[in-house]
Amino acid sequence: MRPFRVISMMKEEYLYDSYRCPNCNQIRKLTELTYLLKWNEQFKSSYMISVVEEARQGHLKWACDDCIKSKRVVVGKAEEQNWNGITYPFFTHNDEILECQTCKCSFEFSKEEKKFWYEDLKFIVWSYPKNCASCRRKIREPKVKSKRLTELITNIENTDTTEVEEIIDIFLEYGNFEKAKYYLSVLRKRNAVDQERISFIKEKIHNLSQQNT
Ligand SMILES: [Zn+2]
Ligand SMILES: [Zn+2]
């Protein structure tokens, strides 16, 4: 983008010229946010006020050019993410420290893991892993797994979409395809899940049940 264009856009559209990068915490000017301005163009026709204004108000996951160029963050692909108009895609992925809900330890949810989690596995954006790697491994053990399944099912009203998917996966491992299909229908009723994700799971159930017959 040529510099004079940024300046003319600033005059026309933007009231502010100081933005705190949520990743490095530095105050940046619009000329240091060329990536954000690109997304601003791309999302112009959407319902957002403007990407730049949402970023200024702290509603987005984004980062300044310097953070992107120095690879402190990974650029997100909005079109690969499951955000379905209910929230905003992640424009960048950063390393983040989370607390494990089971053992209360701190664990890192790295930018590379996030890219995989949101763009390959297509977990809905703004959902986060609840457990550290070691607790997740324990959850996969059979005895713990059946306890976990009972917990999730008895508490189905309070589960989020990743937990309903967890139920489906456990039933698939048990080879109980009827139950897996039933929980797919439960998942389908949740507003936050897009059609693409449903088709993906449907196909997974279908392929696994074919293998078993
Ligand atoms: Zn930054
Ligand atoms: Zn843990």
Rounded Cα distance, 65 and 72, in Å: 10
At 146, the amino acid letter reads: S
Rounded Cα distance, 185 and 52, in Å: 38
- Ligand minimally distant from the alpha carbon of residue 100: 2
Between the CA of 98 and the centroid of ligand 2 the distance, in Å, is: 10
- Ligand minimally distant from the alpha carbon of residue 130: 2
Between the CA of 202 and the centroid of ligand 1 the distance, in Å, is: 40
Burial class (CB in 10 A: 0-12, 13-18, 19+), 54: middle
Enumerate the domain spans of the chain.
Answer: 14-133, 141-212
How much is the pLDDT for 43?
79
- Ligand minimally distant from the alpha carbon of residue 107: 2
CB within 5 A of ion ligand 1: which residues? Answer: 21, 23-24, 63-64, 67
Is the full-model pTM beyond 0.85?
A: no
* Per-residue pLDDT reduced to its tens digit, 133-192: 899 888 878 888 888 999 999 999 999 988 999 999 999 988 899 999 999 999 999 877
- Ligand minimally distant from the alpha carbon of residue 102: 2
DSSP string, 174-192: HT-HHHHHHHHHHHHTSTT
Spacing of C-alpha 126 from chain mean position: 5
Rounded Cα distance, 13 and 181, in Å: 49
